[in-house]
Homo-oligomer: A and B are copies of this chain.
Amino acid sequence: MTGPIRVATLFTHRRPEETGPAIARLLLVARRSGAVLRLDAEEMRKHKLTPTPGLELTALSDSGVDICFALGGDGTILHALRTYAGTGVPVFAVNYGEIGFLATVEREDAEKGFERAFAGDYEVLALPAIEVTCGGGRWLAINDVSMHRQPGKRVADLAYAVGKDEIGRVRCDGLVVATPAGSTGYNLANGGPVMAWGVAGIVVSFIAPHSLAARALVVAPTDVLSVLNRSQEEEVDVAVDGRPVCTLPPDKELTVRFVNGQGSLAQLTGTTFYQRLRVKFGRLATAP
A282 contacts B by Cβ under 8 Å = yes
Query: When the two chains form their complex, are residues A200 and B199 in contact, meaning their CB atoms are under 8 A apart?
Result: yes
Of chain B, the residue at the smallest CB distance from A211 is B285
Query: When the two chains form their complex, are residues A288 and B283 in contact, meaning their CB atoms are under 8 A apart?
Result: no
Q: Given the complex, which residues of B lie within 8 Å of A195, measured CB to CB?
A: 201, 217-218
Whole-angstrom distance between the alpha carbons of A216 and B199 in the complex?
Answer: 14
Within the complex, the shortest CB–CB distance from A213 to chain B, in Å, comes to 3
Within the complex, the shortest CB–CB distance from A105 to chain B, in Å, comes to 18
Within the complex, the shortest CB–CB distance from A201 to chain B, in Å, comes to 4
Q: Known contacts A163-B274, A212-B215; is A191 also within 8 Å of B189 by CB?
A: no
A277 contacts B by Cβ under 8 Å = yes
A13 contacts B by Cβ under 8 Å = no
Q: Given the complex, which residues of B lie within 8 Å of A211, measured CB to CB?
A: 188-189, 213, 285-288
Query: When the two chains form their complex, are residues B196 and A201 in contact, meaning their CB atoms are under 8 A apart?
Result: yes
Chain A residues close to B by CB (< 8 Å): 98-99, 150-152, 157, 161-163, 165-173, 180, 183, 185-186, 188-201, 203, 206-223, 272-275, 277-278, 280-288
